[in-house]
Each structure stands twice: as structure tokens, then as C-alpha cells.
């Protein structure tokens, strides 16, 4: 039995070739590579197509005084194509431009998508996560923040970016109940809600 959780590291990968197959809002690259094998030696060279989607930031805003959380509802083409409900309840999130601090992205997106102001002093990083490591390089930095949500709501987003979204304020227990019933299927939102529940000792809401 191995005494290490991870036996291999970045030095155990050899990239032989990279070809760009598509460039638009996102990029798709075709990698030819080899890695060390658990059976010993190296794997035969193989290919992997990779969606190069960049980095993003998401934030769950919590109103401690009123026990409320802020989500946004918007149309998602991925959910539609997957045969799911195309309007999705999610945490505020957005792509992080090159050179921008992910926390600054979270602060800016919260204002744009929900009309709510948050600040760095009341915002903490949960972690940085891969959304689907088998097919995309996208990472998401997920934050928790605190703000007064007593007047939050309404339609928001930047029309010039074809954004049309609704700010939704829920009691935390209602949001967790919705999660348990399958009403929330966005990974970033699931991770943020579960992290908040654990930090507050609200695991009973998952029963």
C-alpha cells in the first residue's frame, strides 16, 4: 500500500505536441502527451482535447443578521443542451480577466449581477477548484462574503454582454433544502452552500 495520497506530480508528464483546434470565446487545444504509469515506465503517447476556459470567481453572499443568502437566476445554454431546466440558480460568478485578483472579480460581479456591494474585509476564500478536470483547464475561486441583503433583489446584469439575471434572496435553510431536493445543480453553488452550512454548524439542514 502506498504511503502517499498522490504518487505522481507535474514532472511525471511529458507534453509532446499541442495543436489549437478552435479559437473563439473559448479555445480548444489538442494535446499529445505521455505520463508515468502505475504499472511502471511510461504510458504510450495519447491525445486529449482540452477546453481552455481560463479562470473564474464565484461568491456566496450571506446576511448573518437575517440568515439570508444571495443567489442569481439566469439562462444557461449548458443546462439547456443537457436536457435540464435552462434557468439556473447559482452564486454570483464571472470570468477573471488576466491579471485581476479573483477576489476583485467576485466584488465586481456581485455589484453587476445583483446590485449588492461587498468588500474584501468581509470576504474569505473557500478554495480554488477545477470544474471538470477531465476536459477543461477552468478553475474557479469560490468565496464567502457577508453583506446586508434586506433590500436585495430585482433584475440585473450588463445588457451589452447579453446578461439578464434576477437576484434571488433565500433563507439559508430554504436554500439548503432546495439543494437536497436537487433544485441546485451548479457545482460552484453546491460547494459554496455546503461550505457555509458546515462553517455555521448547519449540517442538520441536509437531513
| 102 phi/psi in degrees, rounded to 5 | -55, -35
**Residue 3 pLDDT level (bands cut at 50, 70, 90):** low
- The angle formed by the CA atoms of residues 123, 129 and 135, to the nearest 5 degrees, is 150
Domains and CATH numbers, the chain: 10-52 (no CATH), 55-206 (3.90.79.10)
User: Considering the chain, what is the average pLDDT of its residues?
Assistant: 92
163 neighbors 157 (Cβ within 8 angstroms)? yes
Mean pLDDT of all residues in 32-37: 96
Residue 205 has pLDDT above 60, yes or no: no
**Residue 4 pLDDT level (bands cut at 50, 70, 90):** low
The pLDDT of residue 198 is: 93
169 neighbors 152 (Cβ within 8 angstroms)? yes
pLDDT digits (tens, 9 = 90+) for 185-203: 899 999 999 999 999 987 6
The pLDDT of residue 5 is: 74
DSSP E strands in the chain: the ranges are 13-23, 27-35, 46-52, 55-63, 68-75, 87-90, 92-95, 123-130, 139-146, 154-156, 165-171
Set of cell numbers at residue 200: 455555521
In the block, cell 464571472 appears at 94
pLDDT digits (tens, 9 = 90+) for 70-120: 999 999 989 999 998 899 999 999 999 989 999 999 999 999 999 999 999
Q: Identify the burial level of 205 via C-beta atoms within 10 angstroms of its C-beta, where 0-12 means exposed, 13-18 middle and 19 or more buried.
A: middle
Distances (CA, A) of 115 to 32, 118, 156, 200: 45, 10, 7, 26
The residues assigned a catalytic role are 161
Amino acid at each position: 500500500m502506498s504511503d502517499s495520497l498522490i504518487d505522481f506530480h507535474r514532472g511525471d508528464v511529458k507534453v509532446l505536441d499541442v495543436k489549437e483546434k478552435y479559437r473563439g470565446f473559448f479555445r480548444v487545444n489538442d494535446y499529445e502527451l505521455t505520463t508515468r504509469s502505475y504499472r511502471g515506465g511510461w504510458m504510450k503517447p495519447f491525445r486529449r482535447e482540452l477546453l481552455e476556459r481560463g479562470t473564474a470567481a464565484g461568491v456566496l453572499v450571506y446576511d448573518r443578521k437575517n440568515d439570508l443568502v444571495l443567489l442569481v437566476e439566469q439562462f444557461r445554454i449548458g443546462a439547456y443542451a443537457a436536457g435540464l431546466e435552462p434557468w439556473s440558480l447559482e452564486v454570483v460568478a464571472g470570468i477573471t480577466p488576466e491579471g485581476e485578483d479573483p477576489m476583485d472579480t467576485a466584488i465586481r460581479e456581485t455589484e453587476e449581477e445583483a446590485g449588492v456591494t461587498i468588500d474584501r474585509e468581509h470576504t474569505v476564500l473557500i478554495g480554488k477548484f477545477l470544474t471538470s478536470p477531465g476536459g477543461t483547464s477552468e478553475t474557479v475561486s469560490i468565496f464567502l462574503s457577508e453583506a446586508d441583503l434586506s433590500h436585495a433583489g430585482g433584475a440585473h446584469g450588463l445588457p451589452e454582454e447579453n446578461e439578464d439575471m434576477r437576484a434571488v434572496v433565500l433563507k439559508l435553510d430554504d436554500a439548503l433544502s432546495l439543494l437536497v431536493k436537487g433544485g441546485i445543480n451548479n457545482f460552484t453553488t453546491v460547494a459554496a452552500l455546503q461550505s457555509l452550512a458546515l462553517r455555521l454548524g448547519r449540517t442538520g439542514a441536509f437531513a
